[in-house]
Amino acid sequence: MAYNTIVYEKSEGIGTITLNRPKSMNALSSEVFCEVAEVLDMISADPDVRVVILTGSEKFFAAGADITEIRNISNATEAHAFLKKARAVFNGLEDLEKPVIAAVSGFALGGGCELILACDIRICSENAVFGQPEIKIGVIPGGGGTQRLPRTIGVTKAKELLYTGDTMNAAEALRVGLVSKVVPVGKVLEEARTIAGKIARQPGVTLRVTKDVVNTGLNLDIKSALAYEARCFEMLFDTEDQKEGMAAFVEKRKPNFKDR
């Protein structure tokens, strides 16, 4: 299916969503959000897709929300309508049962930074730049920046970025834990595919449970989270893949997972 603002490709169990608005630095418009949401629904229902990569171009992942669109928003009701589309994508990425890797090159600002914060794994190239500069135009992040950023890099550093609107380079992003790896420019998609390939070979049920346990546990107190982890651990002993995985380990062979 052809889209106006994104490109979607599927190969070897990996679904790749590429933001594709080069004339506007991949600015996030209502159309972008609607098209990404549509693809996420399709991926969710596609058993052939086991891992998702979200990426942009070499110079910009996404430079933020489309200011030419949102500057025409005149009241809170209209702002709510725009934000509802955006939040459907941010929450959709976070809630998708399949792991999502953000492969970032160039600018990931504002909504672009919020977009990667909703992903499970974030890697970037050496030219990546991150930030939440919304305060400079009189608003706050509305797609999770004030909540996911502190939970990812710590409250103090997040407040510095949110209060000043300053940006952060790739080295600093790695140091504070926003990304897990920095690679040379032009290599980020290759690295993302390598990681995605490793993930795609894992048992599907266990992958889904792992993502759910981590995300759910982050919103619970530690004792409740540990109890939830234990219940999910126990549940996996009812799956065929658990039995196959342990048998393959003992027999020193590669497992043949069936995702059940």
Concerning whether 114 is annotated as a catalytic residue, the answer is: yes
With cut-offs at 50, 70 and 90, classify the pLDDT of residue 42: very high
Is residue 260 in some structural domain?
no
Mean pLDDT over 195-205 rounds to 94
Catalytic one of 134, 172, 234, 240:
134
CATH number of the domain bearing residue 239: 1.10.12.10
Instruction: Give me the torsion for CA of 65, 68, 71, 73, rounded to 10°.
Output: -90
* 234 and 188 housed in the same domain: no
Nearest to 117 by CA among 168, 59, 177: 177
Contact status, residue 54 vs residue 35, Cβ threshold 8 Å: no
Q: Considering the candidates 94, 114, 244, 251, report the single residue annotated as catalytic.
A: 114
217 has pLDDT over 90: yes
Answer yes or no: do 51 and 117 share one domain: yes
- The mean pLDDT of 172-178, rounded to a whole number, is 98
**Residue 259 pLDDT grade (very low, low, confident, very high; cuts 50, 70, 90):** confident
Residues 63-89 have pLDDT tens digits of: 988 988 888 998 999 999 999 999 999
CA distances from 19 to 26, 67, 228, 234 (A): 6, 17, 36, 40
Here the CATH number for the domain that contains residue 130 is 3.90.226.10
Pair (194, 236) in one structural domain: no
Mean pLDDT of 216-226: 95
Across residues 231-257, what is the average pLDDT? 90
Q: What is the mean pLDDT of residues 119-136?
A: 97
State the pLDDT at residue 1: 73
Residue 231 belongs to what domain range? 204-251
- Cβ atoms of residues 148 and 93 within 8 Å: no
Average of per-residue pLDDT values in the chain: 95
Q: Are residues 118 and 215 in the same domain?
A: no
**Per the structure block, which two tokens stand in for 135?**
């305060």
In this prediction the pTM is 0.93
Domain count, the chain: 2
